[in-house]
A and B are shown apart, each in its own frame.
Chain A
Amino acid sequence: MACRMEKRIFMLKIYFGDMADVIYNTSVYFKNRYRREWITDPNTVKMIRDVDSSKVLGNGAIDSPVLGVISPTELSGGVKTLILIDHISEKVFNASNCGDNCAKWLLKMGREKDITVNLRHIMDFGDEEFEIYIMNTEEIVRNMDELVRIAGRYV
């Protein structure tokens, strides 16, 4: 019997505006819940390098050009939120703690797995085409113009 393998389409899903049961203060949540092994995960190392311009020295030490050697809890709010989104899929996090420099990482994660985030502002996902599922209206948007017209109603 022939079995046709369907390619699974992953998606970044965003709920704009106030959302129940979201983790709002991601820095506090990260401080209490992060695991040391997350920090040396290759994807996390790349995120920290890109977003914070910092180098992971080990699971408890990061070399920051701003602060010197720091612990993971002293990373930027944006990169801590990205790490949480990447590692805890059953929770929804407030991605408005992330700057626009985190947008490409959200899109990348969304291409590799289903992720759901809450945004309370309009993040700039750039001028390239993308696919984002807007949960408020159950629509897929493919560029910033489409995104702004929907998201602006909720933020």
Chain B
Amino acid sequence: MSNTIVFIDEGNAFVKSTEFASEIKKTDNYYVIVTRESLEILPISVDEIYGIRSSKKYGVLAPVYHEFYHIYDVGRYEEYPIRPRRLIVEDTNSGYEFFAAVSPKIMCETAYGKSNIFNILSEKKIETHTLIVADGAAFGSQMNRIERFFKNNPFLHLYLPESFEWVLLKAGIIKGSKLSCL
């Protein structure tokens, strides 16, 4: 099977397995997986998690129109500019070094991986303006367990660029004819 859209409905436990993740990474298919579970092993973008809501009904015979919507906007509009006193960066290497260097007056620390962001948030309530930076391209599995911290705490801010490389390429410091296509 190649170049195919594959729909996997809920009730299939295998979507959490390492075997499934390993196999689908070898394919060029597009997978639509219906589940409420966090698929930690799959690099799912925060922008590719959807809910389904019934929004309209057309007449008697037509089904309710189900609309896909982006599920994660953390339910809060940020007021810009954000002036954080503390930065927590998912990355341990180049991403962390970059943010530590560009913001020497702001305390910058690494979370040592995306999974640890939940641990940091759940340890104790954060009461200084803190910006958490993580790669949105693979952060989808974390959102279900961290979104409540952001909804309820005005001191917490979340920045999810596609990736650190994306930040650099979009910054305008690297010239290339195809960059505008990103």
Flag whether A26 is at the interface (Cβ < 8 A).
Answer: yes
Contacts of B57 in A (CB 8 A): 65-66
How many residues on A have C-beta within 8 angstroms of the other chain's C-beta atoms?
24
Q: Find out whether the CB atom of A148 lies under 8 angstroms from the CB atom of B122.
A: yes
Q: Report the Cα distance A155→B38, complex, angstroms.
A: 7
The 0/1 profile, CB within 8 Å of B marked 1, for residues 1-44 of chain A is 00000000000000000000000111110000000000000000
Flag whether B18 is at the interface (Cβ < 8 A).
Answer: no
Q: Find out whether the CB atom of A149 lies under 8 angstroms from the CB atom of B37.
A: no
Q: Report the Cα distance A144→B149, complex, angstroms.
A: 10
Give the contacts of B90-147 with A (CB-CB under 8 A).
118, 122, 144-146
Q: Find out whether the CB atom of B11 lies under 8 angstroms from the CB atom of A151.
A: no
Q: Report the Cα distance A152→B114, complex, angstroms.
A: 13
Q: Find out whether the CB atom of B36 lies under 8 angstroms from the CB atom of A96.
A: yes
Contacts of A72 in B (CB 8 A): none
Flag whether B83 is at the interface (Cβ < 8 A).
Answer: no
A141 to B: closest C-beta gap in Å = 13
B34 to A: closest C-beta gap in Å = 10
Flag whether B3 is at the interface (Cβ < 8 A).
Answer: no
Q: Report the Cα distance A144→B13, complex, angstroms.
A: 26
Q: Find out whether the CB atom of B38 lies under 8 angstroms from the CB atom of A121.
A: yes
Q: Find out whether the CB atom of A97 lies under 8 angstroms from the CB atom of B10.
A: yes
Give the contacts of B135-175 with A (CB-CB under 8 A).
144-146, 148-149, 152
Contacts of A144 in B (CB 8 A): 148
Q: Find out whether the CB atom of A24 lies under 8 angstroms from the CB atom of B11.
A: yes
The 0/1 profile, CB within 8 Å of B marked 1, for residues 29-61 of chain A is 000000000000000000000000000000000
Flag whether B6 is at the interface (Cβ < 8 A).
Answer: no
If the complex has contacts A77-B10, A148-B122, are A120 and B63 also in contact, measured as CB distance less than 8 A? no
If the complex has contacts A26-B11, A66-B54, are A155 and B148 also in contact, measured as CB distance less than 8 A? no
A119 to B: closest C-beta gap in Å = 9
Contacts of A122 in B (CB 8 A): 144-145, 148
The 0/1 profile, CB within 8 Å of B marked 1, for residues 115-134 of chain A is 00000111000000000000
Q: Report the Cα distance A148→B152, complex, angstroms.
A: 12
Query: 3 shortest A-B CB distances, which residue pairs?
Result: A152-B145, A25-B11, A121-B36
What are 6 contact pairs spanning A and B, CB under 8 A?
A: A65-B57, A120-B36, A148-B148, A153-B122, A155-B37, A155-B38
- Not counting A27-B11, A121-B37, A149-B122, a sample of 17 additional A-B residue pairs whose C-beta atoms are within 8 angstroms of each other reads A25-B11, A25-B13, A65-B57, A66-B57, A66-B63, A66-B64, A67-B63, A77-B10, A96-B35, A96-B36, A97-B10, A97-B11, A121-B36, A121-B144, A148-B148, A152-B118, A155-B38
